[in-house]
Amino acid sequence: MYVTSGHDTEIRLTLEAAVDFLNLAADHDLDARALLDAHGFLRAKQASEPEIERIEERMAALLPEFLSLPTADADDTTAWVNIELERINIAPSLTIHDDAPLHIHWTPASAAFDDQVIADVLMALAQEVCDHGTSRFGICAATDCEHLFYDSTRNGSRRFCADPRCASRTHTADHRARQKSS
């Protein structure tokens, strides 16, 4: 992932990738390499199995903190993000590669892929917390789902995770309840 002049877009894409990763990992339905590749992490295809496994482990360790974001305050979130950032070697640099525009890499070129991914996620989260606090994170409103979502809508109206079945089931149940009460 990279940060360009579309900085907000890259933050959104990185946080959406992190949320997708965490939700699929929680469901034990994760193909980490494919997910990272689909979300634009350029080194995903070439990453070693140990690097992919470390990403899975490190993201799993972050899951409880991410799940707490919808109700967390900025001070608590700031504290844990700072602790996580201290654990990785962040050395920002400007770079151009692979037909991507000029962008920032948060880790040195020699960094392991898992460090790069975790740095990207944490830096995107740090920027989001600075810009909006934790208000854009929520838990799916479907009664049988506890997935996290990141709300990038302009009016903050998102209520459901990325699984379209959650919104559909809820809207259908609401419609049937209204029909029954009429």
Q: What confidence tens digit (pLDDT) does each residue in 122-148 have?
A: 999 999 999 889 999 999 999 889 999
The amino acid present at 172, given as its one-letter code, is T
| Residue 101 resides in a domain | yes
- Tokens matching residue 78: 């700031």
- Domain range enclosing 174: 7-181
| Residue 150 resides in a domain | yes
| Residue 173 resides in a domain | yes
Summarize pLDDT for 31-72 with one digit per residue, the tens. 999 999 999 888 899 999 999 999 999 999 999 999 999 999
- Pick from 27, 10, 89, 88: which is nearest to 63 by CA? 27
Count of structural domains within the chain: 1
Radius of gyration of the chain (CA): 18
pLDDT at 177: 72
Could you count the other beta carbons within 10 Å of the beta carbon of residue 97? 10
- Pick from 142, 141, 162: which is nearest to 15 by CA? 162
CATH of the domain at 112: 1.10.3300.10
- CA 47 to CA 111: how far, in whole Å? 12
pLDDT band at 163 (very low <50, low <70, confident <90, very high): confident
First to last CA, the chain: 51
pLDDT at 114 over 70: yes
pTM: 0.85
| Residue 28 resides in a domain | yes
In this structure, are residues 16 and 39 in contact, taking their beta carbons and an 8 Å threshold? yes
- CA 41 to CA 55: how far, in whole Å? 12
> pLDDT: is 171 or 72 the higher one?
72
pLDDT at 3: 40
